[in-house]
Amino acid sequence: MRLLIVEDDAPLASGLRRILEAEGHAVDVTSRGEQAVLAASQERFDLVILDIGLPQMDGFEVLRRLRTGSADKNGPMPVLVLTARDAVEDRVHGLDLGADDYMVKPFAMPELTARVRALLRRSQAHGGPRITHGPLALDTVARRAFLRNEPLELAAREWAVLEVLLGKVEKIVSKEAIIQAVAGWGDDLSPNAIEVYVSRLRSKLEPAGIKIRTVRGFGYMLEEFKGN
């Protein structure tokens, strides 16, 4: 994946570059907002990591130009905003301008890489009909699932629940959100019913090392696949 880091603090920028390169991405770094706008107008990045506190043109302005300029002609580029300020208005402002996620400095690197993965996955999911997660693959057009390249039988509602969870790997999905996504099919669904579908999914996926964690009183989280 092609990533653009816009960060004026050299040690942080180089650290981020090396961490993301270690994840297998091609990373460009610039310390100036103007250059970021220029670069994004010339080629498409799969993700822009944007610091708000830049000299001269600040991150908000860069974000505004990315969203209003020609850079987004092939759909909006995902933007992860980094901020050292904690004022609530800054977060809201950033999200209002079209940032996809934000992180307050300093942050633990695993959290950053997890969010980068989630954003990249999301932008891919929009693009392609095929969602993969470790040994699991979902063909959303043909509505067929494969585990270790073997066809996997899923009931319609199991499919719907799995699709919701796959859309937010490593994020908690509340039971209400799952019910809303699944209950488009007419009848009411109780939280207990969701538990049943999740437990069926678990018995099918866990042998392959795919774990669905229960977050007590809240919902479920599909964990990052770490191998068997």
In one-letter notation, the amino acid at residue 203 is S
The Cβ of residue 60 has, within 10 Å, a number of other Cβ atoms equal to 20
Q: Would you say 35 and 4 are in contact if contact means Cβ atoms under 8 Å apart?
A: no
Which is closer to another protein, CB of 2 or CB of 18? 18
Stretch that binds another protein, among 39-47, 57-65, 191-199, 212-220 (CB under 8 A): 212-220
> Tokens 């934000």 label which residue?
102
Instruction: Find the shortest distance in angstroms from Cβ 9 to another protein.
Output: 5
Stretch that binds another protein, among 42-50, 82-90, 146-154, 202-210 (CB under 8 A): 82-90
Instruction: Find the shortest distance in angstroms from Cβ 54 to another protein.
Output: 11
Which is closer to another protein, CB of 89 or CB of 187? 89
d(CA 96, CA 81): 12
Tokens of 123: 């932008």
Instruction: Find the shortest distance in angstroms from Cβ 192 to another protein.
Output: 17
Q: Which of 2, 22, 195, 196 binds another protein (CB under 8 A)?
A: 22
The count of chain residues that interact with another protein, using the rule CB under 8 A, is 36
Which residues in the 149-188 window bind another protein by CB under 8 A? 170-172, 174
> Tokens 């092609």 label which residue?
2
Tokens of 51: 């610091």
Residue 122: phi and psi, rounded to 5, are -65, -45
CB environment 20-37: b (16+ within 10 A), e (fewer): beeeebebbbbbebebbb
Tokens of 223: 């964990």
Which is closer to another protein, CB of 161 or CB of 173? 173
Which is closer to another protein, CB of 103 or CB of 193? 103
Is 89 a binding residue for another protein by CB under 8 A? The answer is yes
Stretch that binds another protein, among 10-18, 32-40, 55-63, 184-192 (CB under 8 A): 10-18
DSSP string, 147-198: ETTEEE---HHHHHHHHHHHTTTTSEEEHHHHHHHHGGGSS---HHHHHHHH
Q: Would you say 69 and 41 are in contact if contact means Cβ atoms under 8 Å apart?
A: yes
Instruction: Find the shortest distance in angstroms from Cβ 149 to another protein.
Output: 30
Q: Would you say 79 and 48 are in contact if contact means Cβ atoms under 8 Å apart?
A: yes
Is 206 a binding residue for another protein by CB under 8 A? The answer is no
By CB under 8 A, name the binding residues for another protein. 9, 11-12, 15-16, 18-19, 22, 51, 53, 82, 84-89, 104-111, 114, 170-172, 174, 213, 215-218, 221
